[in-house]
Structure 1
């Protein structure tokens, strides 16, 4: 199954990095770019933490996200 820009995905595991805010498992995001074969490459997340709302894009790897639904 290929993904397209705008598809909703869910984080399968915690995603974090040096320049990336922590994305908890189960967080919902939107695909912003894909690879040539339809795998998600970058995902936009909007999360809330103790410091307020955060909106950012994260580069994802295989297995980081799966097809999701908006609740």
Structure 2
């Protein structure tokens, strides 16, 4: 995600996506690619938990209707 954000922000500073990746790795280190990981994981992780819990409850409800 970091490479995409940097390319969209200042594409004139980089020749290609690979160039952006290499420069980011050299200048900021490998942890630069994990910026925003915790907020994204919190948002997507909580959504997935709620979605799968809801899906299981709906499946359970449908099964109870199908077999009297």
Highest RCO, 1 vs 2 (Cα 8 Å, sep ≥ 6): 1
Structure 2 length-normalised TM: 0.21
Structure 1 length-normalised TM: 0.20
Normalized per residue, the structure richer in helix is 2
Normalized per residue, the structure richer in strand is 1
